[in-house]
Chain A
Amino acid sequence: MVDRVAIVGIAQTKFAPKRADVSYGEMAYEVIEAVLRQTGLKMDKDIDNSISCSHDIWDGQTISDIGITDVIGGHLRNEEKMALDGSTAVYYGTIGILSGEFECTLLMAHTKMSQTNRNIVNNDAFDPIYTRLLGFDYTSAAALQARRYMYKYGVTPEQIARVVVKNLANAKKNPVAHQSGDFTVADVLSSPLVASPIRKLDIAPDTDGAVAMILASEKRARQIKKNPVWIKGIGTCYDAYYLGDRDLAGVFALEKAAAQAYRMAGIKNPRRQIDVAEVGDDFSYQELLWMEGLGLCDRGAAGRMVESGATEIKGKLPVNPSGGLLGGVPINVYGLNRVAEAALQVMGQAGDHQVSKDVKVAVAQGHSGFCGQHQCVVVLGKE
């Protein structure tokens, strides 16, 4: 990148299973007000573009960015809604600044999963002709993916349970997480079975919340913040739609998205160059699958890697020190939260869940659609 884009502010709500006290617009306001206060920026004077991430079907409102137009600064101004995972707001926000059209962009992702039923919403993502009537949702589709991945690479249920144990222990140190605790592999493997082999503790819980972030061009970033986090590389990619058209143990789209981001960031050896990763563990096995897609280990080796303790908060390559999505993050916010947590690690401001090693480069990954059809990778770094 000739010009550079930086993250200059981050605000997250405390995530909770249910926020009956606020509408989604009010929830968005909480984080937008917080990020403006944190950066000292003024909506009318400083912010020249806004991007939101949410879905009409989750929000129960047609054109649901109507519900946040006022709080995101869209009145008489620009706001665009990406109907994908929150990581794509960072992707498109970066491109908007690189295009020369904008200098300072406010990003916000929000969802109140408590407002609706995830199985019904998930089922609507299956095409109305061939697969919807089978009753699929993201969890049952993920069960097929988990089985295929375990079969192909010999990943064991115990290895996958280790992801849950690690992330829920990490989440204890993360003040915004709402699900955490000291669990054992046996606890995970005896939690209620939802769709074999996926158990209750393998699934990111229903959560309400929002995340806001401000991106700025290099010139503006230097005026706003002393040590901003730089967006070094970005990439997205779509995989095929039908589950039968993909090798579900494959990571085709993620590899392509990562290749694009790594090329931009000048990363040739992700295992050596990346210090910490925040990946989309919507389901515990996905943390392992996406680690492989991001090139953080060989194909099929992620299970052994988590077993070795290398991905723990004090390990060689910490993965999801925040507790990941298993600690409780709303869908659609997933990716913006991944980027936010990765940025906090680079800034050294992750608090109790700051990894012990020095973080120069972090990678964040988000995905949309069942079994990770659309992938988005963001590489962050210091100077």
Chain B
Amino acid sequence: MKRNVAIVGGGQTYHAARRHDVDQVEMVNEAVRRALDDAGMTIDEIDTVFLGNMEFFEGVHMTDCWLVHGTGAYGKPGLKITTGGTVGATTVCVGAHHIASGLFDKALCIGFEKQEEGDTGAILSGVAHPLWGRSLAGAAVGYFATMGSSYMATWGATEEHSAMVAVKARQNARKNPYAHLKLDITIEDALNSRMLSYPIRMLDMCPASNGACAMVLADEKTAKKRCKKPVWIRAMDTAHNEQFELDWRFVDTKRPIFSKVCAARMYKKLGVKKPAEYFDVFEVYEPATWAELIWYEDLGLCGPGEGFRLVEKGMTNIDGPIPVNPSGGVLSTNCIGASAMLRVWEAALQIRGDAGGHQVPKDVRRALTTGYGGTNWTVMTALSKTLDD
């Protein structure tokens, strides 16, 4: 990028299954106000506004237009982005490109979903091709069920490993005041929760949350002048799998796959050899427990088939050597349009040392985040504390 871009502020709503007290405009505005407060800016100082959201989830066409008074986009340049589960991270990319272009100095990026206003399962089934895939579609649960079965059959993991991820996420969420599912659960609770589609049980899956996240990005000069703890965006990359790449998560596939291809490009850009050592914390997009284990492997934090060993040994716990999702992750909070942005914002909080109860107990200088959506798509973002890191 031609200019350095920093995160100079951010904010999120408290996430919940029901937000009857607010409409979409008001909910988004909560996150926007928190982000502006955090950045010490007023909306008048913002040059441009970007909104990421999936219009089908709420059944409102052109939400960016409706929400202008909540987002602050009225009278300003801006765009709406719609790329599925990755959209929150894509929106950050869009903001970063605008700042880097030199045409804008301060950008507000917003992601949100108010899932209670639609039927998430039905809408996710609508992801599948109308002719070839839709009659088979089992929404997200069906997809992750094949992933879990394939993972266990191939690598010898058990349902207990999935339960360990489920417990880690919800116990971390208890330390995060904004998280949706702050559950004090045990492995037994997870293993005894209701079966949705073998091997996916209720507690192996993310919730359908209402919530929003907003971030203020700025150029280097503004960031250094206005922000005590700017967090720098060091690299971004996007990779999709096309819809008929129907491995449906054949976990030991040798073919190039979105996650590994994207990680390899990120590491090349940054000169990373050992990601588990290079990055101090990871925030990954795990709509289901098994996805987190596969992220460990695809990000190269361990070898293929070793992901479940990492969680077994507690390596990815909040106080472990490779903390993954100290925020509680998507398993604890999933407001789809915001989820990928929440990964970036939570990683930024860790770098700033402002994560509060879920701050990892070590010096955090670098972080890596992933988004996950579409038919196996990701957007990765690498952050650092200083421009030397």
Which chain A residues have a beta carbon within 8 Å of chain B's beta carbons? 2, 23, 55-57, 60-63, 65-67, 69-70, 74-84, 88, 91-92, 95-96, 98-101, 121-122, 124-125, 127-129, 235-241, 252-253, 256-257, 260, 264, 368-370, 373-374
Interchain CB contact (< 8 A) of B81 among A77, A83, A122, A237: A83
Contact B65 A62 (CB under 8 A): no
B65-A75 in contact (CB<8A)? no
24 A–B contact pairs at CB < 8 A? A56-B55, A56-B56, A61-B127, A61-B130, A63-B127, A66-B374, A76-B261, A79-B83, A80-B83, A84-B80, A95-B101, A99-B1, A122-B61, A125-B60, A125-B62, A127-B66, A128-B60, A237-B77, A238-B49, A238-B74, A239-B75, A241-B65, A241-B66, A264-B103
A2 nearest CB neighbor, chain B only? B102
Do A236 and B1 have beta carbons less than 8 Å apart?
no
B61 and A62: CB pair below 8 A?
Answer: no
Q: Is B126 an interface residue (CB 8 A)?
A: yes
- Size of B's binding interface in residues, CB under 8 A: 65
Residue B375, interface by CB 8 Å: yes
> CB distance A75 to B130 under 8 Å?
no
Contacting A at CB under 8 A, from B79-115, are: 79-84, 90, 93-94, 96-103
Given A95-B97, A96-B97, A127-B60, A81 and B65 touching (CB < 8 A)? no
Known contacts A60-B130, A62-B123, A238-B74; 19 additional CB pairs below 8 A are A62-B56, A62-B124, A66-B243, A66-B375, A69-B240, A74-B240, A77-B238, A80-B81, A80-B83, A80-B238, A83-B80, A88-B79, A98-B2, A98-B103, A99-B99, A127-B66, A237-B76, A238-B65, A240-B74
Interface residues of B (CB under 8 A from A): 1-3, 23, 49, 54-56, 59-62, 64-69, 73-84, 90, 93-94, 96-103, 117, 123-124, 126-127, 129-131, 236-245, 256, 258, 261, 373-375
Closest residue of chain A to B23 (Cβ to Cβ) is A129
Identify the closest chain B residue to A124 (Cβ).
B61
For A63, list chain B residues within 8 Å (CB). 54, 82-84, 127, 373-374
A82 and B66 contact, Cβ closer than 8 Å, known pairs A74-B242, A238-B75, A256-B75: no
Take A84-B64, A236-B78, A240-B69 as given contacts and tell me if A75 and B240 are in contact as well, using a CB distance cutoff of 8 Å: yes
Known: A76-B241, A76-B256, A240-B74. A55 touches B55 (CB 8 A): yes
Chain A residues, Cβ within 8 Å of B242: 69-70, 74-75
CA distance A290 to B165 in the complex (A): 56
B43 to chain A, nearest CB (A): 13
- Nearest chain-B residue to A77 (Cβ)? B239
Give Cα distance in the complex from A79 to B94, angstroms.
Answer: 12
Q: Given that A67-B243, A99-B97, A241-B68 are known contacts, is A83 also in contact with B78, CB under 8 Å in the complex?
A: no
Residue of B23, B62, B123, B258 touching A83 (CB-CB under 8 A): B62
Q: Which chain A residues border B1 with CB–CB below 8 Å?
A: 99-101
Most buried by A among B2, B83, B126, B129: B83
Shortest distance from the beta carbon of A218 to any chain B beta carbon, whole Å:
13
Q: Sorted from nearest, which 4 A-B pairs have the closest CB atoms?
A: A100-B2, A99-B100, A98-B101, A63-B84
**What are the residues of chain B within 8 A of A91 when measuring CB–CB?**
79
The contact of B2 among A66, A99, A127, by CB within 8 Å, is A99
Q: Determine if B90 and A240 form an interchain contact, defined as CB atoms under 8 angstroms apart.
A: no
* Shortest CB distance B194–A (Å): 25
What is the CA–CA distance of A373 and B81 in the complex, to the nearest angstrom?
Answer: 17
* Contact across chains for A81 and B82 when beta carbons are under 8 A apart: yes
Contacts of B243 in A (CB 8 A): 66-67, 69-70
Contact in complex: B79, A84 (CB < 8 Å): yes
In the assembled complex, which residues on chain B have CB atoms less than 8 Å from the CB atom of A66?
A: 84, 127, 129, 243, 374-375
Residues of A within 8 A of B3 (CB): 99
CB-based contact A82/B81 at 8 Å? yes
Q: Which residues on the B side are within 8 Å of A264 (C-beta)?
A: 103
Query: What residues on A are CB-neighbors of B127 within 8 Å?
Result: 61-63, 66
| Nearest Cβ on chain A to B213's Cβ, whole angstroms | 18
Residues of chain A within 8 A (CB-CB) of B2 are 98-100
Q: How far is the CA of A106 from the CA of B383 in the complex (A)?
A: 28
Chain B, residue nearest A95 (CB): B101
Provide the residues of chain B in CB contact with A128, threshold 8 Å.
Answer: 59-60, 117
Cα distance A121–B61 when bound, in Å? Answer: 7
Which of A65, A67, A241, A370 interacts with B69 by CB under 8 Å?
A241
Contact B60 A124 (CB under 8 A): yes
Could you say which residues of chain B place their CB within 8 Å of the CB of A127? Answer: 60, 66
A236 proximity list for chain B (CB < 8 A): 77-79
A311 to B63, alpha carbons, bound, how many Å? 35
Docked-complex contact B74 and A83, CB < 8 angstroms: no
Residues of B contacting A80 with CB < 8 Å? 81, 83, 90, 93-94, 238
- Assembly CA distance A252 to B74 (angstroms): 10
| A125 & B245 in contact (Cβ 8 Å cutoff) | no
Instruction: Please name all residues of chain A whose beta carbon is closer than 8 Å to the beta carbon of B82 when the two chains form the complex.
Output: 55-56, 63, 65, 81-83
What's the minimum C-beta distance from A295 to chain B, rounded to whole angstroms? 18
Question: Given A95-B103, A374-B64, is A69 in contact with B375 using a C-beta cutoff of 8 Å?
Answer: yes
Shortest distance between the CB of A96 and any CB in chain B (Å):
5
A374: chain B residues within 8 A (beta carbon): 64-65, 78
Contact B61 A235 (CB under 8 A): no
Interface contact B61-A57, CB-CB below 8 Å: yes
Give A294 Cβ to nearest chain B Cβ, in Å.
16
A369 to B73, CA, bound (A): 14
Question: Which residues of A have CB within 8 Å of B90?
Answer: 80
CA distance A150 to B49 in the complex (A): 33
Residues of A within 8 A of B74 (CB): 238-240
A175 to B96, CA, bound (A): 40
B163 to chain A, nearest CB (A): 30
Q: Roughly how many angstroms separate A214 CA and B204 CA in the complex, as a whole number?
A: 44
Chain A residues whose C-beta falls within 8 Å of the C-beta of B78 in the assembled complex: 236, 238, 374
A79 to B83, CA, bound (A): 9
Whole-angstrom CA separation of A77 from B93 in the bound complex: 14
Report B-chain residues with C-beta under 8 Å of the C-beta of A88: 79
